[in-house]
Chains A and B, each alone.
Chain A
Amino acid sequence: MSDSSAADILNKIKPLMHKRVGPYNSWNPVSRTQIWQWCSAMGDHNPLYLDDQYRAEHSEFAADKAVAPPAMMQMWSMRDVNGHDGPGSTTDNLFEILDALEQEGYAGIMAVSYDQTFHRYLEEGDRAHHYSTIINVSDLKTTGIGKGFFVTQLAEFMDQNDELFAEARITYFKYQVPKKPAGASKPSAPGKINRIHPVENHDHAHFWQGLRDGKLLIQKCDDCGELRHPPQPMCEHCQSLRWSTIESKGKGTVYTYTVMHYPEIPPFDYPNAIVLVDLEEGVRIVSQLIGTKPDDIKVGMSVEMKLTEVQEDMTLPLFHAADPSTTEKP
């Protein structure tokens, strides 16, 4: 790996930018067979693409020509199974900049974003080709997967008349693959990300067990009778260590709330509304409000608990609006 600084690397590759290379030609004209193969693999039953009668009666397209789903844009001029571009394609290197970065030690590549505009849908018999231009290379950035450069490619997808039918700005991250320690284990199976299971100990196991038994339990001091939540070993009013529990009805009002939008951390759904609920019994509990759009949440709104098994062996007292008019349409 070379020790070139990021500035040296950028000086070397910047001159390679803004060079439009192409054409990259398609192996075949737009065909019904390939549209069918795509739609069948994707389970796409949109009749516009393959139903001639639908097109004749309900569309601006010709009855006898299958229409290609717009997202097929890029596949018409893809290389064949042997890695060869279609006949008559340029032999210029589309990815000169990526290769140059690879030589500098940035061998990893990952597409991070697509920004596409569709100007017209292709029909059977159309013939696609594309041109490519690297339009941006970022400064050296550090991300979760390593250090590297964001490289943005403009791809212009043209038809047989050299008319643009679609264009895409595709951004890749070209990064230094972190060195693995010798004997590093094989990657583990893809796992599902779950909520972290709460610790259950002597002081609050009753609360979690109660939820599994279908009850929201609130602690009650055996000496002064005050209620308390969250669970704790000692009464803050009389310092008694003796306590029992009562079952909450799970009804209350929103005391305050916050809505989390970003970053989206799995496995939660976003926007994620977190509420502090004043329970009728007189204690407050933090939970998640489900079924109400963030804009419709109001301080003071009535809410009801819904015990929900959010994942295996974890039941939580989630809340939803008590008034059906503030509840999201199904």
Chain B
Amino acid sequence: MSDANLNYRNVIASELSVGDALPEFELPITAKLVVSTAMASQDFQDVHHDKDAAIAKGTPDIFMNILTTNGFVGRYLTDWAGPGSRIKKIQFNLGAPNFPGDTMIMSGEVTELSQEGEHHLAHVNFKGKNGMGNHVSGVAVVQLAGAQQNGGANG
């Protein structure tokens, strides 16, 4: 997926229909990922870096913090919609924690297309599912890039 981003391709409104699926994204959860993203998001709660402390609090291992979940939702949306898109809203519910050793698979679907002034908006349902169920599920509104933004921006 990361290689595709380097093409700087934007999804534009005219090529979208309600019901279109977003490409799936598979994220292996590792202790390194949990710790490095917790630090990058300034979250020093021990359950995100100290396994013994996490176990003492009743969970089997350290687990991903919410700001990171938010970050991956944001990345998932713009990996799909392209760098010319702008995220307007993200609403989600949290479920099964992301523990190291698990894999989260993100999927999504376009549920509505609307217009606000000159901007086209895509409404997206998304979820990130791990081995225990949905880690995150919700809806987002993404302002799409204009058609002219793809000119010369590819490759």
Contact = CB atoms under 8 A, between A and B. Distances in A.
Interface in B67-85: 67-68, 70-75, 78-79, 83-84
A114 B66 contact: yes
Given A115-B91, A116-B90, A117-B88, A41 B37 contact: yes
Contact of B133 (A42, A115, A264): A264
Contacts of A75: 40-43, 67
Contact of A117 (B6, B84, B89): B89
B89 A46 contact: no
Given A58-B83, A71-B90, A187-B59, A193 B75 contact: no
Centre residue among B40, B93, B94, B134 by max chain A CB count within 10 A:
B40
Interface in A179-202: 186-193
A47 B61 contact: no
Interface string B35-59: 0110111111000000000010011
Contacts of B153: 57-58
A267 interface: yes
B78 A46 contact: yes
B60 A188 contact: yes
Contact of B67 (A57, A74, A265): A74
Interface string A61-101: 00000000111101100111101000000000000000000
A112 interface: yes
Interface residues of A, number: 55
Centre residue among A58, A186, A188 by max chain B CB count within 10 A:
A58
Nearest to A296: B19
A11 interface: no
A48 interface: yes
A213 B154 CA distance: 49
Interface string B1-27: 010011010000000000101000000
Given A38-B41, A78-B42, 14 more contacts: A43-B2, A44-B71, A47-B5, A48-B78, A69-B71, A69-B74, A72-B71, A112-B93, A112-B94, A113-B94, A116-B70, A116-B91, A190-B60, A269-B129
Interface of B: 2, 5-6, 8, 19, 21, 33, 36-37, 39-44, 55, 58-61, 66-68, 70-75, 78-79, 83-84, 86-94, 96-97, 99, 101-102, 129, 131-134, 137-138, 149, 153
Interface of A: 34, 37-38, 40-48, 54, 57-59, 69-72, 74-75, 78-81, 83, 110-118, 121, 177, 186-193, 264-267, 269, 293, 295, 328-329
